Amino acid sequence: MTPNKEDYLKEIYKLGGAEKLVGNKQIAEVLKIAPASVTEMLIKLSHEGLLHYEPYKGSCLTKEGLQIAITLLRGHRLWEVFLMRHLGYSWSEAHEDAELLEHITPPRLSGRLDKFLNYPAYCPHGSAIPHSDGQIDRKPLRPLVQLAAGESSHIRKVAEEKELLDYLQSLGIEIDGAVTVASIGPYEGPLMLDLDGRQVQVSHKAACQIYVDER
Amino acid sequence: MTPNKEDYLKEIYKLGGAEKLVGNKQIAEVLKIAPASVTEMLIKLSHEGLLHYEPYKGSCLTKEGLQIAITLLRGHRLWEVFLMRHLGYSWSEAHEDAELLEHITPPRLSGRLDKFLNYPAYCPHGSAIPHSDGQIDRKPLRPLVQLAAGESSHIRKVAEEKELLDYLQSLGIEIDGAVTVASIGPYEGPLMLDLDGRQVQVSHKAACQIYVDER
DNA sequence: TTTGTAAATTAGGATCGCCTAAATGAAGGG
DNA sequence: CCCTTCATTTAGGCGATCCTAATTTACAAA
Ligand SMILES: [Mn+2]
Ligand SMILES: [Mn+2]
Ligand SMILES: [Mn+2]
Ligand SMILES: [Mn+2]
């Protein structure tokens, strides 16, 4: 296992590779690697038994590949908690450095870090932290953009992308904070939100990447 | 810069490459890489301006190479403090995992870790932690094995090698602890030490790797 | 059914960091 | 000063991972 192979597995997982076939194109895009190189690596990973590869169709993770992806996500999210809680990192900084730390986090380290942090259930961006046995507590969520004007809910998760994270943090958006959609601009216009009495405007695109409780 | 190039620079530094020329043989040994491969890499690193390479003579670090080596040592030792102080690692475990963490520790991270740890001066094994400007507070030390029977001093540092660390920690040897050499076995025989009233026997080889105050 | 388009694969190469085996240089003892 | 020995370098290769360009396949619209 090398850091880049780990990233292949992790990204395939994030693209839904635990349930369905993921196309090479998407993998090439998120990893910023030429499609031809992705084909090559996928064949190698399938020979290693980490994923099922169907030429011209796509790939999905095997049990072993899934295990590696989840272990990686666990390390990533635990580090994010540490970096924000104890070192004063911002949302995007924590995500950035955790991207590297995740690759050198053997079970001994993630286990002790987990204990030190008092077994956090979620990363600072709201994603569930897998347990050491690979179990993940999922919560059903829907994008904020699906709420109708006047509807209220609680922000539970935001997508992890540097620019988005900096944007949302500068707006003062917080995980588990209450939100009410005051108004929705027409033609994918901005949404006006009420956060604990504070009025905040967010773009339609950002609202697609913010998740709130379902129902 | 890649992790292995960083390790070349770090090991050259530890072999004295900041002051004198270091031979390829030694570098090959500590890195467990074939001498031919070392030659090749040294030439590459010299083209990158990180060290001065004199064929058949040896190498010494340039200012830039030294900077990288010291930054690496700083990250390594700060992580060791964190791992032992907060995660309950042993001497050898801390050294092992820090070996990996050091390579993914940008200044932002080491700076904040340093602050979180309240600016420790030494790693758990007694080596000085370089400041962020590269400054290192040296203390003059001599190996314990140089003490005469009856002489007393304080243990300030131990060499960082897995087996040695496990051995010394199992004996209850501690940095900054008082030590008196009770007796010295003949012909490189074991030393009997008095540690705060406790009698402990250590091998000659180990006594070569334990450092106490000079004079 | 044909065909255009996007996705995927194949072919051919480059670079990096490592290896073994063979050749060469340096340096001290005789 | 020569020779032995050990350190070092050179030569030739290998596997991993990435690339570009060319070709093939899949799929859906016409
Ligand atoms: Mn990563
Ligand atoms: Mn996160
Ligand atoms: Mn290292
Ligand atoms: Mn140390």
- The pLDDT tens digits for B105-155 are 999 999 999 999 999 999 999 999 999 999 999 889 999 999 999 999 999
Please indicate whether, in this complex, the C-beta atoms of A109 and B103 are within 8 angstroms of each other.
no
Distance of C1' in D21 from CA in A39, Å: 16
Give the ligand whose atoms come closest to the C-alpha of residue B93: 4
* Residue A8, pLDDT score: 98
* Residue B215, pLDDT score: 80
Chain B nearest CA to A107, separation (Å): 11
| D11 C1': nearest CA residue | B36
Select from A89, A100, A109 the Cβ nearest to the Cβ of B97: A109
Q: Per-residue pLDDT tens for B154-171?
A: 999 999 999 999 999 999
Intrachain domains A3-61 and A141-213 with the same fold: no
Give the pLDDT mean for A8-16.
Answer: 98
Please indicate whether, in this complex, the C-beta atoms of A93 and B108 are within 8 angstroms of each other.
yes
Q: Which residues does chain A have within 8 Å of residue B100's beta carbon, measured at their own beta carbons? A: 104
* Residue A132, pLDDT score: 96
Nucleotides of C under 7 A from a protein CB: 6-12, 16-22, 25-27
Would you tell me which CATH number, out of the four given (1.25.40.420, 1.10.10.10, 2.10.70.10, 3.40.800.10), belongs to the domain A3-61? 1.10.10.10
Q: Per-residue pLDDT tens for B175-211?
A: 999 999 999 999 889 999 999 999 999 999 999 999 9
CATH number of A141-213: 2.30.30.90
Give the pLDDT mean for A196-213.
Answer: 96
Q: Per-residue pLDDT tens for A68-115?
A: 999 999 999 999 999 999 999 999 999 999 999 999 999 999 999 999
Give the pLDDT mean for A8-13.
Answer: 98
Cα–Cα distance, B140 to B41 (Å, whole number): 33
Nucleotides of D under 7 A from a protein CB: 6-12, 16-22, 25-27
Q: Which of A187 and A22 is assigned the larger pLDDT?
A: A22
Give the pLDDT mean for A167-189.
Answer: 95
- Nucleotide minimizing C1' to CA distance for residue A36: C9
SS3 B89: coil
CA of residue A22 to ligand 2 center, whole Å: 22
Q: Which residues does chain A have within 8 Å of residue B101's beta carbon, measured at their own beta carbons? A: 101, 104
Q: Which string of DSSP letters, residue by residue, matches chain A?
A: --HHHHHHHHHHHHTTTTTS-B-HHHHHHHHT--HHHHHHHHHHHHHTTSEEEETTTEEEE-HHHHHHHHHHHHHHHHHHHHHHHHH---HHHHHHHHHHHGGG--HHHHHHHHHHTT--SB-TTSPBPPPTTS------EEEGGGSPTT-EEEEEEE---HHHHHHHHHTT--TT-EEEEEEE-TTT-PEEEEETTEEEEE-HHHHTTEEEE--
Range list of β-strands (E), B82-209? 141-143, 152-158, 178-184, 191-195, 198-202
Give the ligand whose atoms come closest to the C-alpha of residue B7: 3
Whose tokens are 């990686």? That residue is A72
Domain locations along chain B: 3-61, 141-213
Q: Per-residue pLDDT tens for B84-94?
A: 999 999 999 99
- For an interface test with B, give the residue of A7, A82, A83, A97 to mutate (most B CBs within 10 A): A97
* Residue A110, pLDDT score: 98
Give the pLDDT mean for B80-103.
Answer: 98
Q: Which residues does chain A have within 8 Å of residue B93's beta carbon, measured at their own beta carbons? A: 108
* Residue A215, pLDDT score: 81
* Residue A94, pLDDT score: 98
Interface of chain A toward chain B, CB-CB under 8 angstroms: 86-89, 93, 97, 100-101, 103-104, 106, 108-109, 112-113, 115-116
Dihedral angle, C-alpha B136, A96, A128, A202, nearest 10 °? 130
* Residue B20, pLDDT score: 96
Give the ligand whose atoms come closest to the C-alpha of residue A30: 1
